Amino acid sequence: MKKVAEIKIIDEVESVSDWKSKVMDQKIPIILDCYADWCNPCRKVTPLLSEKTLAHGGKFRMVKLNIDNCPQLASGLNVKQIPTLFVIYKGSVVDSFTGFDAQKIDELVQTALLVDQAANDE
């Protein structure tokens, strides 16, 4: 019997090879958190966004991307400052913003929830 891989609602892209399966091929919205370990504002985003992701029980996924570990992906996304957050659905960027702003994080979560709702109404 083949074991099915568990889909985590909070995950991390650790290499370019992870990108397609963890972000592009997902059937639910992804909130992509582009960060670096040395970035103080980035450290504030993670717990806030993790809490909101868990509270919504799988309506969207949070995927973290360390720009120092995957600079080619950060460059492809045109990340110039961090933290930068994206809502990605079926490979397309739906929304994004840069910086730490709790209200904008709430708005990004609402966008992900609306995308999920629209996808399920199709």
Domains detected in the chain: 10-121 (3.40.30.10)
Residue 73's identity, in one-letter code, is: L
pLDDT at residue 6 tops 90? no
Task: Look up the pTM and report it.
Answer: 0.90
Query: Which amino acids are annotated catalytic?
Result: 39, 42
* Segment 15-28 mean pLDDT: 92
Residue 64: which pLDDT band, with cuts at 50, 70 and 90? very high
Query: CA 49, CA 69: separation in Å to the nearest integer?
Result: 21
Q: What pLDDT digit, counting tens, does each position of 37-60 carry?
A: 999 999 999 999 999 999 998 899
For 43, phi then psi, to 5°, come to -65, -25
Q: What CA–CA distance (Å, rounded) separates 88 from 94?
A: 6
Query: Which residue type sits at 28?
Result: I
Length in residues, the chain = 122
Q: How many Å apart are CA 3 and CA 118, to the nearest integer?
A: 31
Residue 68, pLDDT > 80, answer yes
The mean per-residue pLDDT over the stretch 79-96 comes to 95
